[in-house]
């Protein structure tokens, strides 16, 4: 069972991810933007972060850089809408370990989490 930090500016997306992993993994925290994600990561030290790319205040890619600067071993799973291919590639170059495309498919989310463990 992994401890997850779910980062997305849309509350319904955070809720959807929480429901998909319920019973298999623990959601130890949530954040609505990149700045909150960095604070929560430092506080909670989750096993895996699911990170949206496009968010207010601080984009997901910038948050990935900051989290990896703090902890080079951080495991970050990027979550992106279809059509953000270039941003996904940039996130992977930055150090994200994998990505999933919205709308989420439960199988894909669980598979990605399993691979990161």
Which DSSP string corresponds to 60-97? HHHHHHHHHHH-TT--EEEEEETT-HHHHHHHHHHT--
CATH code of 19's domain: 3.40.50.2300
Radius of gyration of the chain (CA): 12
What is the residue range of 103's domain? Answer: 3-116
Instruction: Give the tens place of pLDDT for each residue, 83-105.
Output: 667 887 888 899 999 999 888 88
- Alpha-carbon distance of 78 to 32, in angstroms, equals 14
Taken in order 26, 62, 87, 8, is the CA torsion positive or negative? positive
Average pLDDT over residues 26-55: 97
pTM of the model: 0.93
Domain count, the chain: 1
Which strands form 26-31's sheet, in the order they lie side by side? 26-31, 3-7, 48-52, 76-81, 98-102
- pLDDT at position 50, please? 97
Average pLDDT over residues 42-64: 94
Res. 82: pLDDT tops 80: no
Question: How far apart, in Å, do the first and last CA atoms of the chain sit?
Answer: 9
């Amino acid at each position: 069972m992994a401890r997850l930090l779910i980062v997305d500016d849309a509350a319904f997306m955070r809720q959807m991810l929480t429901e998909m992993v319920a019973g298999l993994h623990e959601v130890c925290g949530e954040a609505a933007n990149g700045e909150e994600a960095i604070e929560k990561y430092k506080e909670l030290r989750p096993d895996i972060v699911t990170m949206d790319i496009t968010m207010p205040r601080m984009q997901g890619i910038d948050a990935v850089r900051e989290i990896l600067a703090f902890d080079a071993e951080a495991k970050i799973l990027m979550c992106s809408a279809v059509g953000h291919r270039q941003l996904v590639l940039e996130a992977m170059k930055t150090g994200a370990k994998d990505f999933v495309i919205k709308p989420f498919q439960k199988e894909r989310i669980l598979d990605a989490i399993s691979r990161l463990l």
